Structure 1
């Protein structure tokens, strides 16, 4: 027997030496994601678990553990917490209870439990009539056991007091539990198929990177990978030459979220070479689902072969949501997902159902809930050889169109960005990106949720009337700003004037998985934060019988889901009918870089597209990735870093392979290729190399173990242009904003090739915006708004560098019309940008006179679109306001009652490009938050816990569900990166109840638990209920981490409940 408090020992090489793991009054989250997987593998390998007392107060966000331990702690009596009680023996024969009396009287702290697993076998029951404070009633289990996931688990609720471990009966009871958990004493067996594979057996290889908004991916019959990028590029990756080739650039509209969005191969692709694309028409306001013919070598597309199967009419006045995933099922039916094409930013993050005249782009009832509209749907058609399509049986509406468009299979979607069809069951899975409301509203409806959905047949999935598991929104009159009854999921009715279909809709279907920004009660493993749900593949091991490198059978019939923002992949277990059973992290230590598509190859390995960090941009971490499983000798994993990945020539780069690893601890050799594969250019682990000439260099590292197994990593080094540098300079506090307070700022820009503002860089080329986001920091919304201004600045630069000034002036007609004349002519044309971009590239005449406009074929469609956008913007009075690089701003866009909003300060600059390198764009974002910080937003907590309270629990002291921090003595909460410049006082919103809390003191210290104390709050004479504590702070400047510490010299209980912190530039008064 060994004891430890070091969680790092939770790995196979250590755990395989034991039969039982005992959690002795653990509490909170004690294992990280990787350690959780290792503990789970130990149990699956036949290991045993014993939980004592507070083991039930552990790992609340890990459902697998909750089922194993058997229940979670809910509460216990107070004043005193330790009491005498009677225990009734239920099982007289079990090895852990056979020595006990039928009634066992003892003294301990008695837990009340929640989420009791009905599959446990109860050994002992607590008699609540023998003490006060029980809440479980007659069935109050206090000890139990069960077989679980290949192993055995035993739990006892006793053991809080040190005296327990001096009691003979309790020790015999405990020893019996350990003996049960140990089973037959045989070593655990990690070779069972039911044991999750070690993460180290999955090898991630980056095939290509620095992609420009990759969208969707297919594998060609010869093993090449074809993927599309939103701005129109169609690329093919060839593993033999280890690089991607642009085989075609499709002309597409890229306004808002439109572009080239989806791709699929025909089921008979080998014979007919038909390939399907879903893209935004460059001229008209609609999306096209088109079929093309590829060449026999799969390296070109015959653009004259286009057959437009289907068009989806859209509006391009307002953002957002285009969907765009395309996939065939095993019966040859083609599915395409479409977004609701509705602006979400003026409905407070709830249902966008604005029925006012002229507000159709703000009403998803006219798209998602409209049976005669193809937006907000998943469509299902059968393509015909002549380029038309027919309607298959089983769609949602009759084929004659009498009740709605017969192409509709699923309706009621918001933004079904990625879909998958189970090849065995035919079930359709998709992720639907949800709205932004952070909290439930009593009048408007539920907070926003993302969804993973499962359609076993055609149906209506709720949007914009329901979200999650059919949580209803309320009917809302946007003109009168009043709401009425909640929508009924059993009988949803669409009465919007923008609805052109039937009013009575099919019953709403609940989501398969759903989760908000905050922690999810139903699916706690998904975590919290930004969200963007996606549905991946359902894996069937027998589909890849002949490949020893396939994913292991452990994942058989499991669904892989992923989240673009949170960067995780989950494997979801289902029962035989397809109902949700459980989920677990796949490769839990790996943070994926915004995964956007996933496929399994014919060999049974996985390929991913990763979008990368920044929205609407080419990203160095946008990648094409392969994940393969190694069953025998594990390949080494090549990884390397560079201190610079771009810069001016000559460029000296220090490379490091320190993160390369061999999980079998073999000695490795290194081969570096810096400029082609003609010769090995270094065999050092960490070489330095100088790139003398401008260009893009694909650097490859190949590592090899003694058995000959190799692994390769590639990275692109761009030489010839230095990244521009930007910095925000803010006078005063750089963390918070206050009502109507002024902000003085400046933006510095420097570029090695271009210079600085006023010295080579035109200030007009620097895009500066300040956005207020009412519902919190939505990166997509902020990026979309800034994109308009950035496009203006980039477009102006492109115009200035072109020959346009030869024929056009700003205000006066020259050889051609003035820019303002063009802007006036096309200001009401929704397709103006696409039309003018085409004219700029191809030239033309006859519109303004006989003089023909010269063509500019070297411009890309994206560059031409930016130039056209700049011209059109000159005639628009409204729109996003560009701010100067040096200026003042007043914080007056927020409502004083809204505490969650943030001001997003964004500055960007696109340089003029360099030799053999295109232009580079960099941005700098600064976020200023409300000075009232909810307590639960703590970045770290130690020996304190987060807890959700309701109005009922507080007698109305809080008005809605609220997360709080229970401040236990000697515990603390950490709030990082808080600028204390100009801060003169801090107030705390706290809740006190003398029945549960001890009172004491709260201190705020700088940068560490025992750092300098800047504020002390006495909490020894509090009244029950909600109240404010305020104090002046020691004047401090600069950014610090704040440690909020709770203390009570006489008790180790809970001091108080903390709801929030408020920072003020004014001194504190006697009360707040």
Structure 2
């Protein structure tokens, strides 16, 4: 769940790139990538191996980096939104702050220092250009200004020339553009956003013409040919800082009620643009609106990758995607009018100061919604934030050992801030789209790419914004991507079974190092207790005779002299304590009524002769209605108690706008949990809100729609978030006792109790520094006796259908792992079957293991009519994996199973009564 970044970035795209399905796809950083027919047919014979590309961090821990430019001598200039202008020096390999612009960059409005570029004749004139926000006399403007940088890397502030300025509505924290690029004729292209509030249009076109709603009408900006917002401008900057208008812009100079600077109109937020240096064709990513579904006002939202071979109108706010038209819409009466005409769009808004008759629209090159795109399925699903360019041209004569190879010659590289991918787009000789292929899909580790350029060395330079929006990210950085056409360094990898123990500690070191170039002549150098090489064997054994913490290192060198090093920590002077929770009651389930839990915690430690009871922490936590694959939770897996919801969020882009405890552009998860802790309807409401979008609860930022998610997935995500607000009921329980479990009464479905025990020992013997204290934990996780079929740990030849399992055939089965049947006498199945009978057998530890229960089901007459069947079950003792096997020779689509209840006979009637009233 995440609030859309309708800010200067206008990441007004869905911020949740999470799992639409859980099988049959490959997950890369919050995005599902499904191979398309086009990519599947690509000839990859000459595709360079991905491990030949290396990514080097040049400057780390940045704060909202925006745009970069690489000088001919290799210096990298880049800016941060709050005003800082930096230079990375490739000789000294250091980053220097050159100037801090006093820009208008307050958090509420999210403008600031938005972009920069260098002059095409930089070697001669030393010109730098900056796009930044200024405010004076209560007027806020975007300014593009030129500066001179001196030979000693000083920005000459007195040299500033304001090239072009235009006013903006500061109260709108959305859609700024800010990118700049040059064509082969020395013309400067400038991208500007539509500067329009997107939050009250239900994710459709913001064309609110009501009085007093000026900033809610993009017809006044992007759809206005007399306004510079929502455009890509093209001007020619003269030596004195003035500019002229090149031939071929959209509106010839002198055309009434138009601006001649406009090259492209109809843009929502062309946040990153690029110009092909060979063809002067303009490329950009267009960040689209938020509706996840088509509606009365028009089509759902799409992001676009656009290509302008000549000046044109690209449709916003009247069209989106491949020129899909919106309806004219009266925001006061809610009356839906006719569709806008892409061949002859007319802007009748009273807020339009320009010509009403607009040029016909142009379709984008690529367009994609939140859901899987029919036209471009390889782009996956989830959040959207399209960024465009650059086009790479291979130079065979360039003397560079790191340049991107000829395989990518003439490829357009496009990327997405939300989905963390980069694609190489292939064009034909007429520059028309052919296909695309993923670039560095497994090793890229892109951290929200926000700008990408080609350096004079033929390497890629990229700014990565970092994981979380709106804060100073530790992983915000400047990186360089190089290609290695020759020998690759080997990969050093150490393994060891015993890394903690008492002196003398003998460790047998393993070695899984390898060489990409398949050399079998690797050399090994091991260092165990200092800088001296202690062994050159592949798998040595070493004895550590003194207590301490050691860094064992392995350096692997190939025949060409390339080397890498791996490190493993060895802790000598202590052993890990033993902590175990035991119970004489059932260790898997708690029961519907108030029941006691008798437990004891055993702690031992080889070095601590006396266990300090104050260091044994025992706590009980009740987590209401948190579902997931919790049946897998064992004594060592307490962190999995909210596995499914947590993994869905971890695999999504929720963290772009939310953190667990700290505030970002959206509230923290713990804030959300506390706000809704007493609202019994909150789970369903928020699960639905994630899918359809909405706003107005936490401020001005709206949450985008996420139609690619199922209701089951969003429900699990909300449950995980709510669990973060739960605190242990008692953190000072004794090591042995009896607890009455009663918090679940009345709401036991899918709840959990977690009893945890932790002990931290006294540390290493002999007084070593640092003192080597070790901790060990154990957990006992108790789940409700009614287990949803959809929460099965494994399924075989059947389909998960939310809470239920369906498409069940003969020999289909599901598995519940590590089940204790102590005190369990019978099972009740809640199922529906149109016209089939079947047998459900419960086997232990395999689908052909001993049978401990058999139930016969009959037809219920309707797939939606559920009935219960109860049968006995034998307790084999201990914990076992239970295999529920469905049997009917040649049977197909036997039944749909919603839940199975593990019951004591004296509680069966209570459970069945609850089931009838569910």
- Select 1:413's aligned residue among 252, 267, 280: 267
Separation in 2, partners of 1:450, 1:236: 32
Note the 1:391-790 alignment, pairs <5 A: 391-441=245-295, 443-542=296-395, 545-547=398-400, 549-590=402-443, 591-636=445-490, 662-664=515-517, 667=522, 705-709=558-562, 733=624
Residue aligning to 1:231: 82
Gap runs ≥5 in structure 1: 1-27, 35-58, 69-147, 151-193, 641-655, 673-678, 686-699, 715-728, 737-775, 792-881, 908-923, 948-961, 976-985, 1034-1042
The 1:1071–1:1001 alpha-carbon spacing in structure 2 relative to 1, beyond 3 Å, is farther
Residue aligning to 1:899: 688
Residue aligning to 2:180: 326
Q: Structure 1-normalised TM-score?
A: 0.53
Task: Describe the superposition over 1:168-223 as per-residue Cα deviations: whole angstroms up to 9, x where unpaired.
Answer: xxxxxxxxxxxxxxxxxxxxxxxxxx521111111122222111111111112321
What SS does the corresponding residue of 2:300 show, helix, strand or coil?
A: coil
The 1:1049–1:885 alpha-carbon spacing in structure 2 relative to 1, beyond 3 Å, is closer
Note the 1:912-991 alignment, pairs <5 A: 927=721, 967=807, 969=809
Separation in 1, partners of 2:221, 2:422: 31
CA-CA distance at 1:900 after TM superposition: 3.8
Aligned partners of 1:258 and 1:322 also within 8 Å? yes
What SS does the corresponding residue of 2:316 show, helix, strand or coil?
A: coil
Aligned partners of 2:328 and 2:337 also within 8 Å? yes
CA-CA distance at 1:516 after TM superposition: 1.4
Aligned partners of 2:469 and 2:664 also within 8 Å? no
Separation in 1, partners of 2:271, 2:722: 31
Aligned partners of 1:894 and 1:901 also within 8 Å? no
The 1:927–1:541 alpha-carbon spacing in structure 2 relative to 1, beyond 3 Å, is same
Q: How many residue pairs align between the two structures? A: 667
- What is the root-mean-square deviation in Å for CA atoms of aligned residues? 5.8
- Select 2:205's aligned residue among 347, 351, 357: 351
Separation in 1, partners of 2:382, 2:842: 26
What SS does the corresponding residue of 2:123 show, helix, strand or coil?
A: helix
What SS does the corresponding residue of 2:688 show, helix, strand or coil?
A: coil
What SS does the corresponding residue of 1:200 show, helix, strand or coil?
A: helix
- Select 1:285's aligned residue among 140, 148, 173: 140
Separation in 2, partners of 1:1066, 1:496: 63
Aligned partners of 2:449 and 2:464 also within 8 Å? yes
Aligned partners of 1:968 and 1:1046 also within 8 Å? no
Residue aligning to 1:694: none
Is residue 275 from structure 1 mapped to residue 275 from structure 2 by the alignment? Answer: no
Aligned partners of 2:33 and 2:378 also within 8 Å? no
The 1:778–1:411 alpha-carbon spacing in structure 2 relative to 1, beyond 3 Å, is farther
The 1:360–1:662 alpha-carbon spacing in structure 2 relative to 1, beyond 3 Å, is farther
Separation in 2, partners of 1:444, 1:1059: 39
Task: Describe the superposition over 1:642-695 as per-residue Cα deviations: whole angstroms up to 9, x where unpaired.
Answer: xxxxxxxxxxxxxx99999742356477999xxxxxx9999999xxxxxxxxxx
What SS does the corresponding residue of 1:285 show, helix, strand or coil?
A: strand
Is residue 252 from structure 1 mapped to residue 103 from structure 2 by the alignment? Answer: yes
Residue aligning to 1:296: 151
Separation in 2, partners of 1:253, 1:586: 36
Task: Describe the superposition over 1:376-423 as per-residue Cα deviations: whole angstroms up to 9, x where unpaired.
Answer: 111111111111111111111121252421111111111211111111
Task: Describe the superposition over 1:823-879 as per-residue Cα deviations: whole angstroms up to 9, x where unpaired.
Answer: xxxxxxxxxxxxxxxxxxxxxxxxxxxxxxxxxxxxxxxxxxxxxxxxxxxxxxxxx
What SS does the corresponding residue of 2:219 show, helix, strand or coil?
A: helix
Residue aligning to 1:178: none
Aligned partners of 1:1001 and 1:1019 also within 8 Å? no
Aligned partners of 1:987 and 1:1028 also within 8 Å? no
Residue aligning to 1:62: 35
Residue aligning to 1:214: 65
CA-CA distance at 1:266 after TM superposition: 0.5
Separation in 2, partners of 1:634, 1:493: 59
- Select 2:235's aligned residue among 351, 356, 381: 381
Task: Describe the superposition over 1:761-802 as per-residue Cα deviations: whole angstroms up to 9, x where unpaired.
Answer: xxxxxxxxxxxxxxx98776779x9558999xxxxxxxxxxx
Separation in 2, partners of 1:732, 1:890: 15
- Select 2:192's aligned residue among 312, 328, 338: 338
Aligned partners of 1:1017 and 1:1029 also within 8 Å? no
Aligned partners of 2:292 and 2:301 also within 8 Å? yes
Residue aligning to 2:48: 197
Separation in 1, partners of 2:793, 2:284: 32
CA-CA distance at 1:239 after TM superposition: 2.6
Aligned partners of 1:1031 and 1:1068 also within 8 Å? no
- Select 2:168's aligned residue among 314, 337, 340: 314
Residue aligning to 2:222: 368
Separation in 2, partners of 1:936, 1:578: 49
Separation in 2, partners of 1:582, 1:244: 38
CA-CA distance at 1:237 after TM superposition: 1.3
What SS does the corresponding residue of 1:217 show, helix, strand or coil?
A: strand
CA-CA distance at 1:265 after TM superposition: 0.3
CA-CA distance at 1:357 after TM superposition: 1.8
Q: Structure 2-normalised TM-score?
A: 0.61
What SS does the corresponding residue of 2:124 show, helix, strand or coil?
A: helix
What SS does the corresponding residue of 2:306 show, helix, strand or coil?
A: strand
CA-CA distance at 1:326 after TM superposition: 1.0
The 1:196–1:389 alpha-carbon spacing in structure 2 relative to 1, beyond 3 Å, is same
Aligned partners of 1:33 and 1:588 also within 8 Å? no
Aligned partners of 2:366 and 2:376 also within 8 Å? yes
Separation in 2, partners of 1:296, 1:346: 50
Separation in 2, partners of 1:999, 1:435: 51
What SS does the corresponding residue of 1:241 show, helix, strand or coil?
A: coil
Separation in 1, partners of 2:363, 2:177: 20
CA-CA distance at 1:472 after TM superposition: 2.2
CA-CA distance at 1:563 after TM superposition: 1.3
Separation in 2, partners of 1:530, 1:400: 42
The 1:1032–1:617 alpha-carbon spacing in structure 2 relative to 1, beyond 3 Å, is farther
Aligned partners of 1:287 and 1:312 also within 8 Å? yes
Aligned partners of 1:216 and 1:597 also within 8 Å? yes
What SS does the corresponding residue of 1:296 show, helix, strand or coil?
A: coil
What SS does the corresponding residue of 1:541 show, helix, strand or coil?
A: coil
The 1:987–1:432 alpha-carbon spacing in structure 2 relative to 1, beyond 3 Å, is farther
Aligned partners of 2:860 and 2:866 also within 8 Å? no
The 1:534–1:701 alpha-carbon spacing in structure 2 relative to 1, beyond 3 Å, is farther
The 1:478–1:236 alpha-carbon spacing in structure 2 relative to 1, beyond 3 Å, is same
Separation in 1, partners of 2:184, 2:566: 35
Gap runs ≥5 in structure 2: 1-21, 495-508, 537-552, 568-619, 628-651, 700-717, 724-748, 751-788, 817-827, 871-881, 900-910
Separation in 2, partners of 1:516, 1:937: 30
What SS does the corresponding residue of 1:374 show, helix, strand or coil?
A: coil
Separation in 2, partners of 1:597, 1:62: 26
What SS does the corresponding residue of 1:503 show, helix, strand or coil?
A: coil
Separation in 2, partners of 1:473, 1:211: 40
The 1:209–1:896 alpha-carbon spacing in structure 2 relative to 1, beyond 3 Å, is closer
Task: Describe the superposition over 1:503-535 as per-residue Cα deviations: whole angstroms up to 9, x where unpaired.
Answer: 222112112111111211111111112221111
